[in-house]
């Protein structure tokens, strides 16, 4: 059993924002691999998925980004998951738009949703897939930037990135983090 967590914020005003790219990946994965309808559980929406012979759960916390651990921890406890069986998919302003970066462990790097998960699970050894959303323009506040929507010019790149990230997550489920780091991380 693998748990794939897409980070984002609930509410119509946050749909298609940079901060919600994790949810976009979960939605794509649910379309491709979902075997049941979404259910309200663990302070989030969860969808059962099948990746070849591997079972997975797709989770979108509904706790708002900065409290994502309040959704992830109960799911991990219920399914008695090891940290290596969890993948957090989140935005990263330190990566160029469209870049992917898998990591097996490490700090949250300023991503508050990931930080809350690491704190609630008591470990930095949680695999994550960071998706580049680009850096804020000069004079922009980082929070305003990630809560903003992608520009029309960025939309095509974003859709390609969501597709690519969905392929990457499927590879993570069937292989492992090291395989995905070698396959998807750009230098």
Nearest of 88, 69, 74 to residue 177 by alpha carbon: 88
Alpha carbon of 84 to those of 115, 123, 126, 133, 162: distances in Å? 17, 11, 6, 25, 23
Q: Report helix, strand or coil for 90.
A: strand
Place of tokens 């699970």: 121
19 is catalytic: yes
List, by residue number, the catalytic residues.
Answer: 19
């Amino acid at each position: 059993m693998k748990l794939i967590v897409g980070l984002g914020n609930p509410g119509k005003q946050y749909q298609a924002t940079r901060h919600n790219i994790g949810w976009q990946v979960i939605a794509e994965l649910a379309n491709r691999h979902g075997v049941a309808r979404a259910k309200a559980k663990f302070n989030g929406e969860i969808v059962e998925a099948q990746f070849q012979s591997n079972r997975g759960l797709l989770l979108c916390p509904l706790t708002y980004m900065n409290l994502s651990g309040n959704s992830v921890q109960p799911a991990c406890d219920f399914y008695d998951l090891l940290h290596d069986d969890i993948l957090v998919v989140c935005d990263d302003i330190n990566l160029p738009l469209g870049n992917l970066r898998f990591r097996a462990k490490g700090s949250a790097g300023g991503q508050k949703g990931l930080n809350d998960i690491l704190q609630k699970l008591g470990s930095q050894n949680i695999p994550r897939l960071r998706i580049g959303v680009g850096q804020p323009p000069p004079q922009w506040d980082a929070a305003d930037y990630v809560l903003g929507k992608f520009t029309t010019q960025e939309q095509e790149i974003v859709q390609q990135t969501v597709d690519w990230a969905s392929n990457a997550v499927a590879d993570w489920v069937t292989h492992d983090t090291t395989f995905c780091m070698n396959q998807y991380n750009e230098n």
